[in-house]
C-alpha cells in the first residue's frame, strides 16, 4: 500500500518477465464472446490457454465447472454441482505469494506456496518479505517427509527497492489469507496490515533485517520448545504408570493449547520491543514469555493433580535452559 491509490496500483504490478510468451494477454472475461451457435462456441473440454502475464497469470490458471440439474420440463434449474474443471492449475509462480523452495525436488515441483494459516500472526512472516533471496537463511521442515526448504519472498516485491526513497519508506503490505483445505473445507479468511517495513530490507538496512530474522527465529524455536515441554508435562501427569507413561500425546493437550494462546500475543509484543533494543538477548526474552504462558495455563492443574507441580517445574526449568 502506498500513500495514494495511484501509488498502490503501480507498486503492486509485478515486473514483466521474458519467460512469458509474446501473446495476447487476456483475462477470461476479456475473451471475445462465443458464437451464439453453441456448436461454434469454445470447447469446454479444451485445455485452457497458456499462461501469459499478468492477466492470465493472476486470473486464468484455474477454472470451475458447473453441472446444472434441469426440472422435468427442462424450463428451469432445480439443482447444481460446482467443482474444479481441471485436476491441476497451469504451472506458474504466483507473484504475490511466499514460496517454500525445496532444492531437492524437480524444478517443476520445487516451489510450493505457503498455506494460509489463520492462527499464524503476520509478524512471523516479516523476514520472508524483507530478506533478499540469497540472504534468506531461514529454513523449515515440510509436513511430509521432513525435508528442508528455504523461503522466497513474493516476486512482486523484487522491484520495490528501485522506487524513490520517500515512497519506499511509506510502503506497507496488506495481506489476505484464505485458510482452507485442498478440497471443500473453508476455515476462515483474514486480512492484516504491516507497518512501513521497507526501510528494514536487506538491501537498505542489513542489520535491521538480520535482527528481525534473529528475533523471529528465536520466537519460533522457543514456541516449539514450549509445545514440547507442555506436551511432555501433560503426559507425565495424566498417563498411568507403565512403559507408555511420559510419551507425548497424539492429540494436542489442553495445557499446550492454552500455553500457545497465551504465548504468541506476548511474543509479538516482545518482538517489536526487541527491534527497538538491538542489544537485548532475544532467546531469553521469549523464554520468559513462554514460562509465563506455561505457568498461567497450568495454574489450575496444580490444585487438581498431585503430580502437576513437579512436572510443571521440570518444564519451566527446561524452558529456561533453552533460553541460552
**Local mean pLDDT, 10-residue blocks, the chain (324 residues):** 91 77 78 66 72 83 86 93 78 85 82 83 83 51 58 84 87 86 72 85 83 91 93 84 54 87 93 92 95 92 82 91 78
Residue 165: partners with Cβ closer than 8 Å, 6 or more residues away? none
Q: Would you state the cell numbers that stand for residue 136, as one nine-digit string?
A: 534468506
pTM: 0.72
Residue located via cell numbers 495445557: 255
Task: Determine the pLDDT at residue 243.
Answer: 44
| CATH 1.10.132.100 domain range(s) in the chain | 208-240+250-322
Q: Helix or strand or coil: residue 40?
A: helix
Phi/psi for 66 (5° steps) reads -115, 130
Task: Determine the pLDDT at residue 36.
Answer: 61
Task: Determine the pLDDT at residue 136.
Answer: 46
Task: Determine the pLDDT at residue 242.
Answer: 43
Task: Determine the pLDDT at residue 34.
Answer: 65
CATH number of the domain located at residue range(s) 208-240+250-322 in this protein: 1.10.132.100
Task: Determine the pLDDT at residue 249.
Answer: 60
Task: Determine the pLDDT at residue 76.
Answer: 94
Amino acid at each position: 500500500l502506498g500513500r495514494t491509490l495511484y501509488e498502490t496500483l503501480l507498486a503492486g504490478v509485478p515486473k514483466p518477465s521474458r519467460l512469458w510468451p509474446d501473446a495476447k494477454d487476456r483475462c477470461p472475461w476479456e475473451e471475445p464472446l462465443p458464437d451464439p451457435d453453441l456448436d461454434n462456441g469454445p470447447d469446454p473440454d479444451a485445455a485452457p490457454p497458456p499462461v501469459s502475464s499478468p492477466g492470465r497469470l493472476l486470473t486464468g490458471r484455474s477454472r470451475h465447472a458447473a453441472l446444472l440439474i434441469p426440472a422435468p420440463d427442462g424450463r428451469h434449474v432445480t439443482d447444481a454441482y460446482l467443482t474444479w474443471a481441471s485436476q491441476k492449475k497451469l504451472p506458474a509462480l504466483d507473484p504475490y505469494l511466499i514460496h517454500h523452495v525445496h532444492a531437492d525436488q524437480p524444478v517443476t515441483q520445487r516451489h510450493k506456496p505457503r498455506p494460509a494459516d489463520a492462527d499464524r500472526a503476520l509478524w512471523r512472516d516479516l523476514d520472508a518479505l524483507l530478506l533478499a533471496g540469497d540472504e534468506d537463511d531461514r529454513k523449515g521442515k515440510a509436513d511430509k517427509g521432513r525435508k528442508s526448504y528455504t523461503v522466497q519472498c513474493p516476486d512482486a516485491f523484487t522491484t520495490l527497492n528501485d522506487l524513490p526513497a520517500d515512497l519506499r519508506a511509506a510502503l506497507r503490505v496488506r495481506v489476505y489469507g484464505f485458510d482452507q483445505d485442498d478440497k471443500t473445507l473453508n476455515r476462515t479468511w483474514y486480512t492484516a496490515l504491516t507497518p512501513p517495513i521497507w526501510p528494514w530490507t536487506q538491501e537498505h538496512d542489513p542489520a535491521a533485517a538480520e535482527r528481525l530474522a534473529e528475533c523471529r527465529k528465536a520466537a519460533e524455536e522457543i514456541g516449539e520448545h514450549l509445545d514440547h515441554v507442555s506436551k511432555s508435562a501433560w503426559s507425565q501427569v495424566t498417563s498411568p504408570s507403565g512403559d507408555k507413561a511420559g510419551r507425548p500425546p497424539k492429540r494436542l493437550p489442553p495445557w499446550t493449547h492454552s500455553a500457545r494462546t497465551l504465548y504468541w500475543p506476548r511474543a509479538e509484543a516482545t518482538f517489536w520491543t526487541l527491534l527497538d533494543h538491538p542489544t537485548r538477548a532475544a532467546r531469553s526474552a521469549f523464554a520468559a514469555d513462554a514460562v509465563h504462558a506455561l505457568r498461567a495455563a497450568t495454574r489450575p492443574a496444580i490444585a487438581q493433580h498431585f503430580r502437576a507441580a513437579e512436572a510443571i517445574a521440570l518444564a519451566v526449568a527446561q524452558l529456561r535452559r533453552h533460553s541460552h
